[in-house]
Structure formats: C-alpha cells, structure tokens
Amino acid sequence: MNTSSLSSTFAPLQNDTFIRACLRQATDHTPIWLMRQAGRYLPEYRATRGRAGSFMGLATNTDYATEVTLQPLDRYALDAAILFSDILTVPDAMGLGLSFALGEGPKFAHSVRDEAAVAKLAVPDMDKLRYVFDAVTSIRKALNGRVPLIGFSGSPWTLACYMVEGAGSDDYRLVKTMLYSRPDLMHRILQINADAVALYLNTQIEAGAQAVMVFDSWGGVLADGAFQEFSLAYTARVLAQLKTHQDGVRIPSIVFTKGGGLWLAEMGQLACDVLGLDWSVNLSQARAMVGATKALQGNLDPNVLFASPAQIQAQAVKVLESFGAPHRGSGSGPTHIFNLGHGISQHTPPDHVASLVTAVHEHSRRMRA
C-alpha cells in the first residue's frame, strides 16, 4: 500500500509537547494523555457506539473512529490523541475472527492451539487492515495539527495469548502449556506476529501516525526468563523493523509492558524512545535506572479517578514529584509523560478527568517555575 504521499499534506503540529517529551527534550509542562481516553466513560462515546451497533462496527468505520478519537480532546486539554482501534486487529486480519460480545472482552472464532493451526498463520495482507490506515489518515486530518496522533498494536506475545487462548484468561494455561511443551510452535507464532506488527505499525506511520506504541498487556504474566525469551525478544524484533522517520520527521516509539517493572533494566536496552510503566513502579527509581536513555510514561492508578477532585490532584502531584525535577535546557535529558498505569475505567466520572488534566498541567508548570 502506498499511503506516504498523504502525510506531507497534513497541517503543521501546534502542540508538540508530547513528541518533545518522547524524544527527551525539555517542555513547558508535563504532557498528559490517557490510555483508552476515547471510551465508555464518555456519554458521547456511548452514543456513537450505539449508532455503530458494535465495537468492530465502530472501529472499522472511518467516520465513527475519527469522531470518537476526537471526543476526549474536545473535553480535556490532552496533549496527544490515540487512534481508536483494538490491540487485536492483526490476528483478526490473519483470519481468526475477532468479536466483542456486549459487556465481555475480545473473543476469536478460531484459536491457534496445534501445529496445523500454527502452520496456517502468515503475515496478513495489509489491505485487510485498510480500515485502520484510513482511520489514521482521517483522524490526522481532523486533528488539523492540534496534537499528535499515536498509532498502536498489541505486542507479539500479547497477540499470541489471545490467539492461543481464544479470549482473555485468568491463568494463561493454554498459551503457557504451549510455551513450555512446544516452544518451537510458540516461537513460530511470535516470529509471524512480530513481522506482522512491524509492518502494521509502519503502515500506520505512512498513513499519518506521529508516534507508535506497543501494548505488551500480558508480558507481566510470564516467568522470569520466559519473559525475556518469549516477549521482550519479539518486541525487540518489532522495534528493529520500525520506521524511525516519516517525511524527515522522527516518529517516537513507546513500549508498555503491564506488570513488567521487574525487567526495567532489560527493557532499558530496547530500541524505543519511551517506556510505559504501571502504578507498581516507583518513578524515581525507574528514572535512576533508565532515565538516561528513555522517556518514562505513566503511572497513576486509574482507580484514583474515583476519589474527590482534591484527592485526585494530590495523587497526581505525588506521581509528578516522584518522577522529580523536570529536565530543562536545550539538550536531551530525563522526561516524563503523564498517563495512567492502565486503561481508564468505564465507570470513571468524566469531570474527574478534567481535574486530573488541570492538576498535571498546573503542577508541572509550577515545577518548572
């Protein structure tokens, strides 16, 4: 697919705070965006989803995907937009048949549990994911330079979890059984996934994504040793193939392993710009460990948003102060992108998000004064 001719026609970026922070450059305030910021906690999202009929109906329709991606930006002074899509679009394009029953998580019609099923897997034709790239281009145009647009995918390991289990899991019994008893099959799946994810993210970049993020949502369920072999190595394989520039502009990459705090030193060796962290990580320690090479993104517990605005403000300040003194000057240095440590809950009161965004902007400006 050739979508690269499009990107040079986009409006210039007005708020580059997020991109600068990704590249460890000084900013006037700490940028903030929220994982799953376009989602069910917003009444306007629920209205659009109602019109679309289903989650996939929403994600595969360019106009709807554009509409819901921009909804949180109209309410809050967020510093980035993230493509409205799902982490599992790639295995869906491999023919596994993704669906979302109401009130439940993702489900595949076909799971990948034996040698025959693995043999059938291949990097999918990107034409099957054209709805994603069309949405990226449409959102980028609609943003009109307000804030940068983040593209994303699930990590090779996280995709494999769903492909083998067929759905979410409490114990990852099926995927880990394959990992321990047929490591050859697991490596085969992960190689295909890594090459597919790299191609998918590169095509998102060509379509207009200004940063890309790999969600290793289930990396943290692996044992020490298995994480390095079955998750980290394939995230590295994705990163090795990623475009770093588009039309001469740097495209930062973010890796987020939920529950991966114990492997931070090893993740510090990845060829990405930013590491996402969940709330179990101490930001001050993380900065000391990897802040010399990586920007850090995170890490407020989303459940803080159920407390009062004053309490939300206090917890946001705690996270900012835990990261510590902002980097200033013209060179590169440790930078922080504020986010939650996981996706925002569907039960979150929308006005509490406004309190959070204001608190992060105001306090992070005070820290620089």
The contact set with a second copy (CB under 8 A) reads 171-173, 176-177, 179-181, 220, 222-227, 259, 261-262, 279-282, 299-304, 306-308, 311, 315, 318, 322, 341, 345, 347
Instruction: State yes or no: is 234 an active-site residue.
Output: no
Nearer to a second copy, 51 or 318 (CB): 318
CA quadruple 8, 199, 45, 157: dihedral positive or negative? Answer: negative
Instruction: Point out the catalytic residue in the list 24, 41, 45, 49.
Output: 49
Residue 299 Cβ vs a second copy, minimum distance, rounded to whole Å: 8
Could you tell me the smallest distance in angstroms from the CB atom of residue 101 to a second copy? 16
DSSP letters spanning 327-364: P-SSSB---EEEEESSPPPTT--HHHHHHHHHHHHHHH
| Cβ proximity of 101 and 107 under 8 Å | yes
Which residue reads 């090795």 in tokens? 240
CB count within 10 Å of CB 242 equals 18
Q: Catalytic annotation on 40? A: yes
Cα–Cα distances (Å) from 365 to 19, 33, 95, 138, 190, in that order, read 17, 16, 48, 33, 43
Cβ nearer to a second copy, comparing 293 with 322: 322
| 76 is an active site residue | no
Which one from 36, 113, 140, 287 is the annotated catalytic residue?
Answer: 36
Catalytic (active site) residue 86: yes
Q: How far is CA 359 from CA 30, 146, 243, 287, 320, in A?
A: 11, 21, 35, 22, 10
Q: Which is nearer to a second copy, 37 or 253 (CB)?
A: 37
- In the complex, the smallest distance separating the C-beta of residue 186 from a second copy, rounded to whole angstroms, is 12
Which of the residues 76, 162, 200, 234 is marked catalytic? 162
User: In angstroms, what is the minimal distance from the CB of 318 to a second copy?
Assistant: 7
Nearer to a second copy, 65 or 222 (CB): 222
Active-site position among 16, 79, 86, 273 = 86
Q: Give the three-state DSSP class for 15.
A: coil
Indicate if 162 belongs to the active site: yes
Catalytic residue numbers read: 36, 40, 49, 86, 162
